[in-house]
Chains A and B, each alone.
Chain A
Amino acid sequence: MSIFDTFLNWKVFVQTLPLLLSGLTTTLTLGITAIILGFIGGLVLALVRLYGVSPLRQISIAYIDVFRSIPILVLLVVIYYALPFVGIRLSPFGAAASALSIVSAAYSAEIFRAGIEAVPKGQFEAAHAVGLSSWRLMGDVVLPQALKIVIPPITSNSINVMKDTALASVVAMPDLLKQATQAQALAANPTPLISAALIYIAILLPLVRLVSVFEKRLARRGR
């Protein structure tokens, strides 16, 4: 029994691959859903925090602080196991997507805020001087520049969201990790787990590299 037969068993790999791929599909769907919802939510939160009227602003600040403080795993368990007691029953996917989006929105909000604040004051003044409305000022002048600034940290945040999808296996969601553990039990061999780990790396490593490239490019431009 060689180490290859134990950890990289080709027969087991081929046998369990369909299961892993179905898990991968779930993981990607969950991750992308949470990334998109977190992006939109974060942008709204950041704008409310910066420009909203007083009670809304406080609510936005409280939201951002609370959900940056709570561990995602705890939030997920609360949503899935505690909310049913008040009649809110979410599917494993619904619970995981909610928990990931809620937290990602809080982190994205702070990233967007930093990006908007990094746009020079003269840009706001010029937009005012041209007579643009507040919406046009944001949409035409400030956000296009802010989004460019936040590409590296937002990508970085998206990588974290993708990794955190693995937590969903706790609420019995058939994601990549869950399917891999299942397959391991069936095959009585750890090859599926190793395969899952390699699949995570294969998907996320290029993104990690991309962040470095973005950061270098931004640094070269001096902003």
Chain B
Amino acid sequence: MQPIIEMKSVVKSFGHFIALQGVDLSIKEGEIVVIIGPSGSGKSTLIRCINQLEEHNSGDIVVDGIEIGQGRKRAVQVEVGMVFQSFNLFPHMTVLRNVALGPARVRGLSWADADERARKLLVRVGLEDHITKYPAQLSGGQQQRVGIARALAMEPKVLLFDEPTSALDPEMVGEVLYVMQQLAKTGVTMIVVTHEMGFARKVADRVVFMDGGRIVEEGRPAELFSAPQDPRLRSFLQAVLSH
């Protein structure tokens, strides 16, 4: 079966800083991949290249058969959903409108159908009582669940999560991870950048460890966490698991 995401020798630099130094990564449809690594290791840049919020300098990225580059940006962005660390909800729209916007404007649904789809998704993430509120009236955890519903509303083939719980108060992390866990059972392809090792262990099909703009080690979570090979991974795990 052809992979849904295929990255070959992807390089991305910001001025003199090389964030990705030739990354190869292949992801199967329906796979849940968790990317871990120290800050500045290129994890976020990697997934931001997949939906072209960052344009890579060289190498190939193919998403669902679409070769990225040369004006194919939007075609990919339509098929790939993203959940941001800082939510990035649209503050001037109600929760319902935040979620319905994509289906109405991009998928061409009528507003009535888009609202209906949005309402169902908001029920699914447990926010049916908040659909007429504005983002600023919600807690962080609630906002992030809206962010997940907004990404889902486009019925994407791939969902990217860029540290979705890092900006949350500790007591709200659980509700977001729970929604993500439920999502993982639906068969959607998920790529999650996170520091939540518990989530990685429980939900991931594969864990990818990055350091210095490279993929250093990858494998099934059970193996990777219990028997890390690379010394950098070993010291990283020691640091994050010791507290």
Tell me, yes or no, whether B208 is within 8 Å of chain A by CB: no
Nearest-neighbor residue (CB-CB) of B54 within chain A: A125
Give chain A residues whose Cβ lies under 8 Å from the Cβ of B82.
125-126, 129
Tell me, yes or no, whether A54 is within 8 Å of chain B by CB: no
CB distance from B177 to the nearest CB of A (A): 21
Tell me, yes or no, whether A131 is within 8 Å of chain B by CB: yes
Nearest-neighbor residue (CB-CB) of A141 within chain B: B90
A125 and B82 CA atoms in complex are apart in Å by 9
Q: Is the CB of A131 within 8 A of B154?
A: yes
A148 and B93 CA atoms in complex are apart in Å by 13
CB distance from A148 to the nearest CB of B (A): 7
Nearest-neighbor residue (CB-CB) of B53 within chain A: A125
Nearest-neighbor residue (CB-CB) of A135 within chain B: B105
> CB within 8 Å of A: which of B60-102?
74, 77-78, 80-82, 84, 86, 88-92, 101-102
- Number of contact residues on B: which range applies? 20 to 34
Q: Is the CB of A129 within 8 A of B51?
A: yes
A122 and B162 CA atoms in complex are apart in Å by 12
Q: Is the CB of B102 within 8 A of A148?
A: no
Give chain B residues whose Cβ lies under 8 Å from the Cβ of A126.
82, 84, 88-90, 150
A170 and B82 CA atoms in complex are apart in Å by 59
Give chain A residues whose Cβ lies under 8 Å from the Cβ of B88.
120, 122-123, 125-126
A144 and B150 CA atoms in complex are apart in Å by 19
> CB within 8 Å of A: which of B142-193?
150-151, 154
Nearest-neighbor residue (CB-CB) of B103 within chain A: A130
Nearest-neighbor residue (CB-CB) of A134 within chain B: B74
A128 and B105 CA atoms in complex are apart in Å by 12
Tell me, yes or no, whether A172 is within 8 Å of chain B by CB: no
Tell me, yes or no, whether A69 is within 8 Å of chain B by CB: no
> CB within 8 Å of B: which of A110-134?
120, 122-123, 125-133
0/1 interface trace, chain A 148-165, chain B, CB 8 Å (1 if under): 100000000000000000
Nearest-neighbor residue (CB-CB) of B80 within chain A: A129
Nearest-neighbor residue (CB-CB) of B92 within chain A: A144
CB distance from A122 to the nearest CB of B (A): 4
Known: A125-B84, A126-B84. A131 touches B102 (CB 8 A): yes
Q: Is the CB of A132 within 8 A of B53?
A: no
Tell me, yes or no, whether A145 is within 8 Å of chain B by CB: yes
Q: Is the CB of A140 within 8 A of B101?
A: yes
Q: Is the CB of A130 within 8 A of B92?
A: no
Of B53, B74, B80, B105, the most chain A CB neighbours within 10 A belong to: B105
A123 and B78 CA atoms in complex are apart in Å by 16
Of A127, A130, A136, A140, the most chain B CB neighbours within 10 A belong to: A130
Q: Is the CB of A129 within 8 A of B77?
A: yes
**A-binding residues in B (CB < 8 A):** 51-53, 74, 77-78, 80-82, 84, 86, 88-92, 101-102, 105-106, 150-151, 154
What are 24 A-B contacts defined by CB distance under 8 Å? Answer: A122-B88, A123-B88, A123-B90, A125-B53, A125-B82, A125-B88, A126-B88, A128-B52, A128-B53, A129-B53, A129-B80, A129-B81, A129-B84, A130-B77, A131-B77, A131-B78, A131-B102, A132-B101, A132-B102, A132-B105, A133-B106, A136-B105, A141-B90, A145-B92
Having A130-B101, A140-B101, A140-B105, one finds 17 other A-B pairs with CB under 8 Å, namely A122-B84, A123-B88, A123-B90, A126-B82, A126-B88, A126-B90, A129-B51, A129-B81, A130-B151, A130-B154, A131-B102, A132-B102, A133-B106, A136-B105, A141-B90, A144-B92, A148-B92
